[in-house]
Chain A
C-alpha cells in the first residue's frame, strides 16, 4: 500500500508555492501599504477604511451584489422548470437535453458574451423582432438588462445541471406513494419533489452567485465602459492604477462576502428544519 505514496510530495510542494503563497500575498498586500518591495511595507487597515468610507466604492459593491442576487434568482426561477422538464422525460431525451445544455459551456465564455452585442443593438435582431409586433425599438445594449442577460446566459447551465442531477436521483416511487396517499400533483410536487431537489438548487445558487458577483468582462462587454462592478474595480487597481494593496483589499472583501454567502447556503442545506426534512 505504501508504494506510490511519495508521488504526492512534489505536488504538495507545487500547491504550497503556486496556490498557498499567492493567497498569502493577497492577505499581505491587503493589510499593508507601500508593499511593492518586501522590505519597506508597514501594516495598516487603510485599504479597508478607504473602501468603506468612499460612497463610490460602496455603491459599486451594492450594485454588484444586487446584480448577482437578481441573476441568481432568475437562474433559479428559469432553471428549475427547465431542469424539471428534462428530468421528467424518457432516458434518451434526457441524455440529449443534458448534452444540449452542457455543450455551450465548453465554448469560450467571452466569445459567447460578445455574440450578444449584435443581437442587443438598437437595430439588432431582438429589436427587429419587437418591430414585427409593432413595438418601438428598446435600448438594450449598455443597460443593466444586458448585463443581467449576459450573466444568466453564461451561468444558468450550472443551475440547470445541478437541479437536474438532484431530480434525477429522486426515487420515483415516492411520488406514487404520495398520490396513493391522496396528494394531488401540486401537493406531491410541493411536499416531495421540491424538498428533495433543494440540495441541487442550493449548489446551483453557489455556482451562479460566485462567478456573477466577481464577473468583470460581462459588464464591460454588455454594460459598456461606464458600467462598473466590483470585478472591474479590481481589474482597474491591478492593470491601470497599479494600486495592488487597495486591489488586494477589495478582492479580500469580495472573497469574504462569497465565503459568507456559501456558508449560509450550506447552513440552509444541513438545517433539517429549513427544508422540511425531518430525520
Chain B
C-alpha cells in the first residue's frame, strides 16, 4: 500500500475513534466538575459522587440493576444452554419453529416487545415491579444465550455423549462432564451478552417496571429532564462497571492459559 493512502485510512479511523469515545470521555470528565455546568469545567471535585452515593433512589437503582442483571444472567444462561442442547436434538420441524419464535424478541423493535409484555403482565394481574422486570429480562436474554451456544453444539460430535452413556455415565454426568465442557466458550460469551443486555437495558425495563423499582437507565432518563450533574457521576459508574466486567472476561482466559503453561 502506498504510504499516502494508508495515512488517510489511519486518519479516518482515528477520527472515527474520536467520534465514538469523545462523548464517553466528556461525560467522565464532567462528572468531576466543580459546578453544575455541562459545558464549563471549573475545577475538580467529587461533590456529584457524594451526592450520588447519598441519594437513596439512585443507589437503589444501582442495586436493582446489578441484582437483576446477575439473576437474569444466571437463569437465562442455564435455561438457554439446556434449551439449546435440547433443541440440537429435536426434530427439524420443532427446531425451525422454536428458532423462528426465539428470533422474535431479537428482531422485533424493543418497544414492541416492551408493550406486549406490559399488556401481558397486566392481563395476568401481576403488579409491575421487581418480578416483572426479572421475568422480562430473562425473556429477552435467553435467545442471545441460545444464539451463542447453538453454533458450538453444531460443531460438537454427537457420538461423544452417546459414548459416555454407553460407558455407563448417567445422562446428568454425560451432560455436565462431556457436553457442557466442550461448549463452555459459547456459554461464557452467551452469559456475557446476557449480562450486558440486562445491565444496559432501558426500553423494555421502562415499560414493565413500576412501584419504585427502577434501574440505572430509567433513573438517567427521568433525571435528564432537568440539569442534574449527578447523572454524569451515575453514567461514569455504569461505564466503570461494564469496563471492569469486560476486562475480567477478556483477561481471565489469558491468565488461565498462562497458569496452565506454567504447570
Residues of A within 8 A of B (CB): 1-12, 14-16, 18-23, 25-26, 29, 38, 81-82, 85-86, 88-89, 97, 100-101, 103-104, 106-112, 114-119, 121, 123-125, 153, 157, 210-211, 213-214, 216-217, 220-221, 231, 234-235, 238-239, 244, 247-248, 251, 254-255, 258
- Cα separation A119 to B252 with both chains bound (whole Å): 36
Q: Known contacts A8-B86, A82-B13, A213-B109; can you find 20 more A-B pairs with CB under 8 A?
A: A7-B83, A8-B83, A10-B79, A11-B82, A12-B98, A22-B117, A85-B12, A111-B239, A112-B24, A114-B224, A114-B231, A118-B26, A118-B39, A119-B26, A125-B39, A210-B109, A214-B111, A239-B207, A248-B119, A254-B109
A82 touching B94 in the complex, CB below 8 Å, given contacts A18-B135, A107-B24, A239-B207:
no
A238 touching B115 in the complex, CB below 8 Å, given contacts A107-B200, A116-B23:
yes
- Cα separation A107 to B201 with both chains bound (whole Å): 10
Interface range on chain B (Cβ under 8 Å from partner): 35 or more
B108 engages A119 (CB within 8 Å): no
Shortest C-beta distance, B253 to chain A (Å), equals: 15
* B217 at the A interface (CB under 8 A): yes
- Cα separation A251 to B115 with both chains bound (whole Å): 9
B116 engages A26 (CB within 8 Å): yes
Listed A/B pairs (12) with beta-carbon separation below 8 Å: A3-B171, A4-B85, A11-B79, A11-B83, A19-B104, A25-B116, A107-B200, A118-B30, A121-B39, A153-B19, A210-B109, A234-B115
Contact segment of B42-50, B51-59, B157-165, B254-262? B157-165
B202 engages A110 (CB within 8 Å): yes
Neighbouring B residues of A255 by C-beta, 8 Å: 108-109, 112
Shortest C-beta distance, A266 to chain B (Å), equals: 12
- Cα separation A23 to B101 with both chains bound (whole Å): 11
**Cβ-closest chain B residue relative to A78:** B16
B12 engages A108 (CB within 8 Å): no
B27 engages A118 (CB within 8 Å): yes
Shortest C-beta distance, B100 to chain A (Å), equals: 10
Partner among A26, A109, A119, A231 whose Cβ is within 8 Å of the Cβ of B22 = A119
A88 engages B112 (CB within 8 Å): no
Neighbouring A residues of B107 by C-beta, 8 Å: 210
A103 engages B246 (CB within 8 Å): yes
Partner among B111, B119, B158, B217 whose Cβ is within 8 Å of the Cβ of A25 = B119
What DSSP secondary structure best describes chain B's contact surface? helix
Partner among A8, A16, A100, A108 whose Cβ is within 8 Å of the Cβ of B17 = A100
Neighbouring B residues of A123 by C-beta, 8 Å: 39-40
A15 touching B165 in the complex, CB below 8 Å, given contacts A82-B16, A106-B242, A107-B238:
no
What per-residue 1/0 map shows which CB atoms of B174-204 lie under 8 Å from chain A?
1100010000000000000000100110110
Shortest C-beta distance, A139 to chain B (Å), equals: 14
* B87 at the A interface (CB under 8 A): yes
A5 engages B86 (CB within 8 Å): yes
Shortest C-beta distance, B220 to chain A (Å), equals: 5
Shortest C-beta distance, A14 to chain B (Å), equals: 8
- Cα separation A6 to B175 with both chains bound (whole Å): 13
A217 touching B202 in the complex, CB below 8 Å, given contacts A25-B116, A25-B123, A111-B27:
yes
**Cβ-closest chain B residue relative to A26:** B116
Neighbouring B residues of A81 by C-beta, 8 Å: 12
Partner among B12, B16, B89, B111 whose Cβ is within 8 Å of the Cβ of A2 = B89
**Cβ-closest chain A residue relative to B107:** A210
- Cα separation A255 to B105 with both chains bound (whole Å): 12
A104 engages B21 (CB within 8 Å): yes
Neighbouring A residues of B83 by C-beta, 8 Å: 7-8, 10-11
A254 touching B39 in the complex, CB below 8 Å, given contacts A8-B90, A38-B123:
no
B120 engages A15 (CB within 8 Å): no
